[in-house]
């Protein structure tokens, strides 16, 4: 079932959600978390599809914030749905017009699932400081995607300077299969790394984070070479064994689907290493609510900026775009 509300209020949205929950019965029970998704209008359908896939593994309440021009007349339109085309997800899509969008947290707070963690996901370019943003302050975890930014590597550096425990980025999630494959390939190798390299299309933030992870784990400077893509296309590690001989471990994935693993003089092996969809990436990040210390180390190493993992109080810093230059 779904309820559409035009030119409505926050209290009417809450009432509509309660009515939908009662009508859905058992569908509305057992929520694991609240997912607050901040998107623009053209990405709403994509975000809904990703949240539906993620909710299959992590039942959640999706609260979607869609901001329109702050110069428009103030208005709130909302769609409330439990089940239906979004599976078992409880979803509230709020389109905020005018300066109402600057106070989205006042509409989101009453919709949070009780006694459940909150994850805020910016599907697009996030605010400059996510840890002090109103929708970031209320979240246990904050998920960004530097690959969506016009300058992905600059966005990654911004995340390092703005880092707070609980932050993560989908660029990091994209390189999880690479990290797993490389770690398993090095399992049982007794030696010291002497060099490492990653190849990817220019400006790929996942490649930068993979290089940072290799550097932080192996204690070597990892080069990032440019290739034609798609995404990360190769990674190589050279290990100096106890007997003084070198062992090269190399993974090549030129087509974004199948990889070839070559370890020393052993025969090459073909392994699946497909690029994953947005829903699968989001589902992986919703598995954990604790801070990701390994991501913090990789981010620090890839940007040459030491991040602070010490939990600290999150303080809202409200900024009015109308006075951004004053």
Spans of all domains in the chain: 2-170+312-323, 174-272
What pTM does this model have?
0.91
pLDDT tier, 322 (very low <50, low <70, confident <90, very high otherwise)? low
Q: What is the dihedral of CA 288, 219, 206, 272, to 10 degrees?
A: -80
Q: Which two tokens stand for residue 229?
A: 């893509």
* CA 188/CA 242 separation, integer angstroms: 13
Q: Which residues contact 27 (CB under 8 A, 6 or more apart)?
A: 82, 83, 88
As beta bridge partners, residue 4 has 79
Q: Which residue has the tokens 């329109």?
A: 68
pLDDT tier, 326 (very low <50, low <70, confident <90, very high otherwise)? very low
CATH topology of domain 174-272: Dihydrodipicolinate Reductase; domain 2 (3.30.360)
pLDDT, residue 14, reads 95
Q: pLDDT tens digits, residue range 140-178?
A: 999 999 999 999 999 999 999 989 899 999 999 999 999
Comparing 308 with 48, the larger pLDDT belongs to 48
DSSP SS3 for 191:
strand
Q: Which two tokens stand for residue 92?
A: 């509230």
């Amino acid at each position: 079932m779904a309820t559409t509300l035009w030119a409505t209020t926050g209290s009417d949205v809450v009432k509509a959600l309660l009515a939908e929950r009662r009508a859905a019965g058992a569908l509305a029970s057992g929520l694991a978390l609240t997912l607050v998704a901040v998107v623009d209008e053209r990405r709403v359908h994509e975000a809904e599809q990703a949240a539906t896939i993620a909710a299959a593994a992590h039942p959640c309440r999706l609260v979607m914030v869609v901001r329109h021009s702050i110069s428009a007349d103030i208005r709130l339109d909302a769609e409330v749905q439990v089940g239906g085309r979004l599976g078992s997800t409880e979803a509230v899509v709020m389109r905020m017009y005018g300066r109402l969008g600057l106070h989205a947290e006042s509409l989101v707070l009453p919709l949070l699932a009780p006694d459940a963690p909150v994850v805020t996901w910016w599907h697009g370019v996030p605010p400059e400081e996510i840890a002090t943003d109103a929708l970031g302050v209320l979240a246990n975890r904050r998920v960004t995607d530097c690959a969506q930014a016009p300058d992905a590597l600059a966005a990654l550096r911004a995340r390092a300077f703005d880092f707070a425990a609980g932050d993560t980025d989908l660029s990091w999630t994209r390189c999880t299969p690479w990290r797993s494959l490389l770690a398993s390939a090095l399992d049982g190798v007794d030696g010291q790394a002497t060099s490492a390299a990653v190849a990817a299309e220019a400006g790929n933030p996942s490649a930068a984070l993979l290089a940072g992870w290799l550097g932080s784990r192996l204690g070597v400077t990892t080069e990032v070479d440019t290739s034609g893509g798609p995404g990360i296309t190769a990674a190589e590690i050279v290990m100096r064994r106890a007997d003084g001989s070198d062992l090269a471990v190399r993974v090549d994935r030129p087509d974004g689907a199948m990889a070839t693993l070559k370890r020393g003089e052993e025969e090459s092996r073909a392994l699946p290493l497909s690029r994953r969809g947005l829903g699968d990436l989001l589902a992986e990040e919703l598995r954990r609510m604790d801070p990701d210390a390994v991501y913090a180390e990789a981010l620090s190493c890839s940007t040459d900026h030491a991040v602070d993992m010490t939990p600290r109080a999150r303080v809202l810093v409200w900024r009015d775009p109308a006075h951004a230059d004053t």
